[in-house]
Structure 1
Amino acid sequence: MWIKHPFFKYITAVILILICIYFLHILHFFGPVQTIIGTLFYPILIAGFLYYLIKPLITFLSKFKYIPKVAAILLVFAAIAGILYIGFRYLADTVQKQITDISNLPDKLKQTAKDTGEVLKNNDLGVFSVEGLRQKATSFFGDLTQQIGNHITEIVSTIAGATTVLVIIPFVLFYFLKDGHRLLPFLLKAIPDKHKQEGEKALKNIDQTLAAYIIGQITVAVVDGILMYIGYLIIGLNYALILAIFVAVTAVVPFFGPIIGAIPALVVALTQDPTMVVYVLITLIVVQQLEGNLVAPVVLGNRLRLHPLTIILLLIVAAALYGFIGMVIAVPLYSILKVTLKNLVHFLKLRYQ
């Protein structure tokens, strides 16, 4: 009888599950769950990235018999703290000066807009309305100021939340490094004994894929930041250090990251000298060529085996769904799913042979 067909049973089960999810959503059952996930997401994400960066150092130090694992972790933490302190001590004055100077950037932008308006006025062919442009700019900045004032509570809350996350991350990272080796045996408990070998292989492949991508991409991002800083110094761009740090942060995202990171530099170049925009673009092109032909092949190689078009489409979709964070996690998440499905297909083939 058709009602006893397995397909009908599966469709019925799916419909019942969707109905349950709908009613749970109406009853706001998922509200606390979303709050918990949102609270833990950023500390775990950042600690996870740092885990794969620091793990090789901990593994190396743990090879020495007289250095316990906890001591190795604390040594690495102390070394990182020392590097940050030295960097802050020697760069604090430069960073503080550039941040103070960059606070005057809106005034410089207004002056640039004023100068542009004068040029348009002197060369007006009836196409532009300088007064109309001025009114629109005044309205825009007025609305922007009002929005900032209306959302000042949210801004303060966001800053407080970011500070809390930064305080929590070292503790989460410490336990990741200390007890990370227990995760694999814990996950293998859910797999039947006869399939533990395939399960262990799949989990190790996922771990190696994540490690290869995170270490490689962070290395590329740091190199991009250094090269852009050198380039900014050569062309004489203001706020070179701050702008280069921004590039290093955004370059964690492949392809689009360095371009996003160069946008503030273009704004600064426009206020400094319009011809400086061309120099910034040339610097970006040169750095991207060096990265694409020298740095990335050496650091990343072909470990992920992802076509560039696949990565671009992933980043576009991720940016539309979850913004910059989505772009950061899109490629490693896709790589995990790819490795998981590949091992699952291999496992099914072995099972039904």
Structure 2
Amino acid sequence: MGLFRTKDAEVVEHNAAVQSSIWTDAFGRLAIRSLQIIAVVVVGIAVIYTFLSLSLVTLPVLLALIFASAMYPLIAFLRRHRVPSLLATIIALFGVVVVLGLVGWLLVWAVENQASTLAKSATEGFNQLQDWITTLPFSITDDQIESVRNTVVDFVTSAQFGSGALAGASAIGSFATGLVLMIVVLFFFLKDGPAIWEFLLRPFKGEQYARARRIGDKTVATLGGYVRGTATVAAVDAIGIGIGLAIIGVPLALPLAVVVFLTAFIPLVGATAAGILAALVALVANGPVAAIWVIAVVVLVNQLEGNFLQPVLMGRTLQLHGLVILVALTAGTILGGVVGAVIAVPLMAVVWGITQVWNGEHQPAEMFRKKRPEEVR
């Protein structure tokens, strides 16, 4: 019996050794790493799917978190001066509402005052465009122009356009619902943000609790710094380009400046899109020379902002390579449209910031730590 037990033990040890060698050799390690990558991808897809499926809830909450992070220094300043939390929150929200209302009023005022001028200039520009078309080497007849016009009219009066209008009305209703939810969530984030975070951290203890606190602090600092820095850069762009448009005499200079401010929150392509729009308005209303001057102003302001202002304001917050920004921007646009393009880059910055404090205040996660020369060899 002892002989059989010895043989059985040897067989078990042999099988264990074989299994160990299968998973510890080069191909086994590759298989394990592949399974880990697949698991991470599946979890990521599940998170994105859940976020998109519940976007009416998740998106307002995320935007509220971003705005709360940006407004946190103001709330902290008021609390340091012994202002009650509820009063500090009301002051911050009231300030935001006043600023947004003032901007909206200025936009409506500018459009109402310059709409007739722009319509007249657009008519003249369209006539000039028709005259220019007649000088092309290939001919475009009046019948062809009329056919295009009839096609547009038929589409506007079609059932397809009507269903699109109904979808637009539904989108407006969803937007209003999301806006109300975002304001409510923002109020509670501003008033009780630290308490809410402490409640969520109750299951964690020891090093896990310390890591979760670092992640929370880094998230708020990154989002807040990104929004404040981008807003400052956008304001400088809007003021510079707006002044240039006013000097050139382009209609709707103020609304176009607001468009510049908003599109500046989309990295890389936002400023280009705003410049194209401003140049098109100048081309229609003022002619090609004014459009060229507008392009020159946009390029000059963007160069000054990109080379001097943005590195100072955004250098510590947005520590991402241009290729990473471009990929994140593209993915965000595909998944979430314009809103996805706006929030993709700050979210990527948050992910990168978390990896940099994973093991300590200045101790990145092992796989993201810079290698020393002796470790590379």
Do both proteins adopt the same fold according to a TM-score greater than 0.5, normalized to the shorter chain? Answer: yes
Matched, 1:231 2:248: no
Give, in whole Å, the separation in 2 of the partners of 1:16 and 1:306.
25
Paired residue secondary structure (1:151): helix
Give, in whole Å, the separation in 2 of the partners of 1:10 and 1:313.
24
Matched, 1:337 2:351: yes
Aligned equivalent of 1:181: 194
Matched, 1:213 2:226: yes
State whether residues 356 and 365 of structure 2, in contact with CA within 8 Å, keep that contact through their aligned partners in structure 1: no
Q: For residues 218-270 of structure 1, what are the alpha-carbon distances to aligned partners after superposition, in whole Å with 9 as ceiling and x for unaligned?
A: 22122222222111101110111111111111111122111112333222122
Q: Match of 2:329, as an amino acid?
A: L
Q: For residues 286-345 of structure 1, what are the alpha-carbon distances to aligned partners after superposition, in whole Å with 9 as ceiling and x for unaligned?
A: 110221133213322333222233323332343344332222112112122223334447
Paired residue secondary structure (2:90): helix
Give, in whole Å, the separation in 2 of the partners of 1:245 and 1:279.
19
What does residue range 86-165 of structure 1 map to in structure 2 within 5 Å? 92-98=108-114, 104=119, 108=122, 112-121=125-134, 123-125=135-137, 127-131=138-142, 134=145, 137-138=148-149, 141-142=152-153, 144-145=155-156, 146=158, 147-165=160-178
Please, what TM-score do these two structures have when normalized by structure 2? Answer: 0.74
Give, in whole Å, the separation in 2 of the partners of 1:35 and 1:326.
10
Paired residue secondary structure (1:173): helix
Give, in whole Å, the separation in 2 of the partners of 1:310 and 1:271.
37
Alpha-carbon shift at residue 34 of structure 1 (Å): 6.6
Give, in whole Å, the separation in 1 of the partners of 2:176 and 2:227.
24
State whether residues 52 and 215 of structure 1, in contact with CA within 8 Å, keep that contact through their aligned partners in structure 2: no
Alpha-carbon shift at residue 135 of structure 1 (Å): 5.2
Matched, 1:289 2:339: no
State whether residues 117 and 130 of structure 1, in contact with CA within 8 Å, keep that contact through their aligned partners in structure 2: no
Matched, 1:38 2:55: yes
- The root-mean-square deviation of aligned C-alpha atoms, in Å, is 3.8
Please, what TM-score do these two structures have when normalized by structure 1? Answer: 0.79
Alpha-carbon shift at residue 3 of structure 1 (Å): 8.3
Give, in whole Å, the separation in 1 of the partners of 2:133 and 2:97.
53
Matched, 1:306 2:315: no
Aligned residues: 337
Aligned equivalent of 1:327: 341
Give, in whole Å, the separation in 1 of the partners of 2:174 and 2:111.
23
- Cα separation, partners in 2 of 1:250 and 1:124, compared to 1, 3 Å: closer
Aligned equivalent of 1:69: 85
State whether residues 126 and 284 of structure 2, in contact with CA within 8 Å, keep that contact through their aligned partners in structure 1: no
Give, in whole Å, the separation in 1 of the partners of 2:222 and 2:260.
25
State whether residues 51 and 58 of structure 2, in contact with CA within 8 Å, keep that contact through their aligned partners in structure 1: no
Q: For residues 33-74 of structure 1, what are the alpha-carbon distances to aligned partners after superposition, in whole Å with 9 as ceiling and x for unaligned?
A: 678612113422332232122211111010122x21111111
Give, in whole Å, the separation in 2 of the partners of 1:114 and 1:236.
20
Aligned equivalent of 2:70: 53
Where do 5+ consecutive residues of structure 1 fail to align? 20-24
Give, in whole Å, the separation in 2 of the partners of 1:71 and 1:57.
12
Give, in whole Å, the separation in 2 of the partners of 1:226 and 1:179.
35
Paired residue secondary structure (2:54): helix
Aligned equivalent of 1:22: none
State whether residues 98 and 242 of structure 1, in contact with CA within 8 Å, keep that contact through their aligned partners in structure 2: no
Give, in whole Å, the separation in 2 of the partners of 1:39 and 1:348.
34
Give, in whole Å, the separation in 2 of the partners of 1:282 and 1:174.
43
Give, in whole Å, the separation in 1 of the partners of 2:40 and 2:302.
48
Aligned equivalent of 2:288: 274
With 326-335 and 302-311 compared, the bigger mean Cα shift is at 302-311
Q: Match of 2:63, as an amino acid?
A: I
Aligned equivalent of 2:7: none
Q: Match of 1:129, as an amino acid?
A: I
Where do 5+ consecutive residues of structure 2 fail to align? 1-14, 367-377
* Higher gyration radius (CA): 2
